[in-house]
Structure 1
């Protein structure tokens, strides 16, 4: 029998106030917008509707002093969306926070993992 437990995943969310938070989903959405230039494409890449993606963007834009994402309306080819300087800074700060927290927290995760009951499976 072998322990088949997957490696633990640390998911970090920063809650500033009720309804105002940044976590892995919003960070991923910002990355997809940065990479695709489109809120709709970013939402599709994450399996969410354009409406939901736009709601998350509006929430983030309202949270910070200046918007994180700006969009321009398009004609026949559609519009585009880009991260602002603030959007790029928020994404970088969140990813740096994630990295630092993972590094600092890994010994604690390892201690907790060692205390888990093994998940055995016949191989």
Structure 2
């Protein structure tokens, strides 16, 4: 049985994957570099979010997944706001999101040192 945290990661991974496919179609038919970039990031990170949700792990892994998810939302949200609304999500949201994704991946890597069996 999955905890509520794992359910969130599975849901986020599924939504990111679906959004990535839909935005890829938009980018292919209507153009738009920011839309294509957002689609690529969503598709690249969806499997990681699904894996975190399905495999579970320790608190460090969950924290890394949360940081990754927040960064993905900020980065892609900013790119899509620029494309569709002509404005930024908020100043520095894409760089903050990108930095958070990098940090999330590093925390995920560090989770291997934390031990899988710890709560």
Q: TM-score, normalised by structure 2?
A: 0.32
Structure with higher strand content: 1
Q: Which has the higher contact order (CA 8 A, sep 6+)?
A: 1
Name whichever structure is richer in helix by fraction.
Answer: 2
The alignment's TM-score, normalised by the length of structure 1, stands at 0.31
